[in-house]
Amino acid sequence: MKFKKIMALLLAGCMTVSLAACGNDEEKKNAQGNGEGPVEVDYATFMVGTHQSAEAEKKVIDEFNKKYEGKIKVNIEELPSDSAYVDKMKTLAASNALPDVVIGKEGIRELAVKNGQAVDLMPLLEEDAQWKAEVGEGAIEYNKDGNALYSIANQKQIIGYFYNKAMFKDAGIKPAETWDEFMSNNEKLKEVGHTPLALMTGENCWTTNLWLAAMIGTNGESGNEFMNTFHPESYENDSVVKALGMIQECLAEYTTSDAVGALAANAMNNFEQGKTAMIANGPWMTPDFEDPEKTLPELKDKIGIAAYPENGLIEQYEVGYVLCTNEDDKEVQEAALEFLKFKTGKEAQTIFLEDAGALPLTDQVQMSDKFVEENPLVAELVEMSNSNKWDFNNIDNTAVASTIEAFAAYYPDLAAGSLKPEEMAKKMTEAAAKTK
């Protein structure tokens, strides 16, 4: 499916966050029942600290708490990383104790649905025409499960890769048009003393898996179909095996010594500090390039953006947010719904685009000339999406949770050469079966 829109931005304009554990239900109910304060909504997030979206997350919640002061208060539990978040939410899901609003990534949504905690949002959307328009039909259809909708996105994702123009010039190369040229470019970069790729196999391996998805999704109609199939049962096909072979070579020959077991922050730091020539990542990374504490000042004007070889881009909507409140507590559910509407609505989308480089869901958020001037990489990426040949999803969006976990478990063996690509594809298939 091709998403062909020119994205745009409206300028928007800090947050008082109260930390709370997810389990303070009794305290909440007592306070609210006695009319002692606003209705409290529990929300957990990993967008904190050095996360690229931390500032935007803080601002959105602050704006909501300000708007609903005295009526609704969002209590936040901060988790320090993606993996910490997923682990904690899965534990809470097992005991039916998820926060009122939760980010449904990596199988969390599916657990909430299975346990009866997730609320079907479709009827609620149909009751609010403005909210539905701000979310847009594309994001709605992307996350629908039959006629039900258990999660709502607040951003669209268009993902290519960033590269160091100076390093490319040193090696006498340009962004590769084919995967053979890509592998040749890696060798040329290595020959002149540059490490080609910022990769990682820790957490959910997501930056490495962006390359894997691209290698599969641009491999003809069959590969593209695979990367647009949700929850595939088998990974034992030629496109996946070929891609795993390329990833094996990249991990063994063309990345940093700390890549195996590294977190995403390590990979991004390696690129931002001029230690690698390329990193696969989305527009949310671009604010880092303006931050001298993250990116070498002399590097920021040397960063380019490109589509993957064979003119492919990851184009998808995020899984987004799940409403998990108890229907018996209508007051809390209504308050949580108001927070969800705000978190996925026009104002929040604008803030996330402006402060975090996250692309909005629809053209309800308009791009200003100033934004284009200040964010040329984002504007260039969006323009690329109007002429790319291949659209496809990322592994994180298509694979079941057990398969994503298996990638992290087996990538070290693949990198070491003790596991063949065919064997790893089989392991992925076996892992997928565990979720049934």
Q: Do residues 314 and 320 touch, judged by C-beta distance below 8 A?
A: no
Rounded Cα distance, 78 and 75, in Å? 10
Query: How is 304-371 classified by DSSP, letter by letter?
Result: EEEPBTTTEEEEEE---EEE---TT-HHHHHHHHHHHHHHHSHHHHHHHHHHH-PBPSSTTSBPPHHH
The secondary structure of residue 33, as a DSSP letter, is H
Work out the number of other CB atoms within 10 angstroms of the CB of residue 423. 15
* Cα 385 to Cα 290, 371, 380, distances in angstroms: 24, 18, 9
Rounded Cα distance, 414 and 406, in Å? 12
Six-digit token pair at 241? 């095996």
Q: What is the pLDDT of residues 252-283, one digit of tens each?
A: 999 999 999 999 999 999 999 999 999 999 99
Q: How would residue 307 be classed by pLDDT, with cut points 50, 70 and 90?
A: very high
Task: Indicate the residue type of 133.
Answer: A
Rounded Cα distance, 428 and 415, in Å? 16
176 pLDDT exceeds 70? Answer: yes
Q: How would residue 373 be classed by pLDDT, with cut points 50, 70 and 90?
A: confident
Six-digit token pair at 164? 């160091």
In sequence order, the 6+-apart residues with CB closer than 8 A to the CB of 129 are none
**What does the pLDDT read at residue 371?**
82
Rounded Cα distance, 215 and 308, in Å? 8
| Matching CATH number, 159-315+383-433, of 3.30.43.10, 3.40.50.300, 3.30.1360.120, 3.40.190.10 | 3.40.190.10
The C-alpha R_g of the chain, in whole angstroms, comes to 22
Range of lowest pLDDT (9-23, 135-149, 206-220, 350-364): 9-23
Q: How would residue 362 be classed by pLDDT, with cut points 50, 70 and 90?
A: confident
Q: What is the pLDDT of residues 23-42, one digit of tens each?
A: 344 445 444 444 568 999 99
**What does the pLDDT read at residue 21?**
33
The dihedrals phi and psi of 304, each to the nearest 5 degrees, come to -115, 170
- CA angle (318 as vertex; 107, 210 as ends), nearest 5: 85
239 pLDDT exceeds 90? Answer: yes
- Residue 237, CB-side half-sphere exposure with 13 Å CA sphere: 17
**What does the pLDDT read at residue 317?**
92
Q: What is the 3-state secondary structure (H, E, C) of 45-102?
A: ECCCCCCCCHHHHHHHHHHHHHHCCCCEEEEEEECCCHHHHHHHHHHHHHCCCCCCEE
What interhelical angle do 206-217 and 264-272 show, nearest 10?
Answer: 80
**What does the pLDDT read at residue 10?**
29
Task: Indicate the residue type of 21.
Answer: A
Rounded Cα distance, 99 and 44, in Å? 7
CATH 3.40.190.10 positions along the chain are 18-155+318-367, 159-315+383-433
Rounded Cα distance, 416 and 414, in Å? 5
pTM, to two decimals: 0.80
Beta bridge partners of 235: none
What is the architecture of the domain spanning 18-155+318-367? 3-Layer(aba) Sandwich (3.40)
**What does the pLDDT read at residue 178?**
98
* 302: three-class secondary structure by DSSP: helix
Query: What percent of the chain stands above pLDDT 70?
Result: 91
Six-digit token pair at 279? 């990193």
Range of lowest pLDDT (103-107, 288-292, 366-370, 415-419): 366-370
Q: How would residue 92 be classed by pLDDT, with cut points 50, 70 and 90?
A: very high
* 163: three-class secondary structure by DSSP: strand
**What does the pLDDT read at residue 130?**
95
> Quick one: average pLDDT of 216-229?
97
Give the mean pLDDT of the chain.
Answer: 89
* 269: three-class secondary structure by DSSP: helix
**What does the pLDDT read at residue 37?**
81
Work out the number of other CB atoms within 10 angstroms of the CB of residue 358. 24
Q: How would residue 218 be classed by pLDDT, with cut points 50, 70 and 90?
A: very high
Rounded Cα distance, 65 and 71, in Å? 9
Q: Do residues 65 and 32 touch, judged by C-beta distance below 8 A?
A: no
Six-digit token pair at 45? 């997030």
